A = this chain, B = another copy of it.
Amino acid sequence: MSGFGFLKYFIPQDRKFFPLFDKAASNVHEGGKAIYALVTCQTPEERVHYLRLIEKIEHMGDEITHEIFKELGSNFITPFDREDIHRLVTAIDDIIDYIHGSSKRIELYKLTEFDSDIIKLAELIQQTTDELRRAVLELKNMKKMRDITASLVRINSIENHADDIFDHAVAGLFEKETNAVRIIMVKEILQGLETATDKCEDAANVIESIMIKMA
């Protein structure tokens, strides 16, 4: 019901929400790049650098989320349904939380060497957050619906890929790793990374439902 045509008129004029969405989407992609850098870096100095960087990105994410919620509270007109904005921002926040959670565990468990599955998952997070960033950037310009849809499709396919890697990695642990504690530990990291790609798919689903309403 809620103003299909009506929305179209308001979108180009919005000056408050889109810059904040862009900020949130760029920030989550910074997180994606940092987690990949963390698991592929070579020196202890770099390691500490990326661990701290991911913490900063997480704080920045919280601030952006807070700013958007404040705007939601003080603006009557919003470019999309208030609830969809809430859901999109929450999903983006969740992605960063899982990236940060994985990085925190890597530090706490003192893991310094990463096998190829963990590296591959981190690479997929870097890619999927890049697609999400693109999709969010184009939201202000609904003429590019085809580009947005292409990004959403890729986010979904990356999530499937991450799922497969996770399953094979765990099966590999069961087959080769004899130390049960090490299995639990590595599985925990794999799980955190894989869930980050799930949350990215959740964000893509919110964008999809925003597009459905505006169709």
Chain A residues at the B interface, C-beta cutoff of 8 Å: 1-3, 69, 72-74, 82-83, 86, 90, 101, 104-105, 108-109, 163, 167-168, 170-171, 174, 177-178, 180-181, 183-185, 187-188, 205, 208-209, 211-213, 215
Of B73, B74, B82, B104, the residue contacting A167 (CB under 8 A) is B104
User: Residue of B at shortest CB range from A86?
Assistant: B209
- Are A215 and B3 interface neighbours, CB within 8 A? no
Whether A168 lies near B1 (C-beta < 8 A) is no
A3 to B178, CA, bound (A): 61
Chain B nearest CB: distance from A110 CB in Å? 8
Q: How far, in Å, is A20 (CB) from chain B's closest CB? A: 15
- Given A90-B205, A181-B174, A183-B181, A212:B69 Cβ within 8 A: yes
- Give this chain's copy count: 3
Partner of A188, one of B1, B170, B177: B170
Known interface pairs A73-B215, A74-B215. Does A108 touch B1 (Cβ–Cβ under 8 Å)?
no
Q: B185–A174 contact, CB under 8 A?
A: yes
| Nearest residue, chain B, Cβ from A73 | B215
Taking a contact as CB atoms under 8 Å apart, the answer to whether A212 and B181 are in contact is: no
26 residue pairs bridging A and B, Cβ less than 8 Å apart:
A1-B1, A69-B212, A72-B212, A72-B215, A73-B212, A74-B215, A82-B209, A83-B209, A86-B205, A90-B205, A101-B163, A105-B167, A105-B170, A108-B167, A108-B168, A108-B171, A109-B174, A170-B188, A174-B181, A174-B184, A174-B185, A178-B181, A180-B181, A180-B183, A181-B183, A183-B184
Chain B residue numbers with a CB within 8 Å of A213 are: 82
With A86-B205, A184-B187 given, name 6 new contacts (CB 8 A). A1-B3, A105-B170, A170-B188, A174-B184, A180-B180, A180-B181
What's the Cα separation between A181 and B183 when bound, in Å?
A: 8
Q: Which residue on chain B has the smallest CB distance to residue A182? A: B174
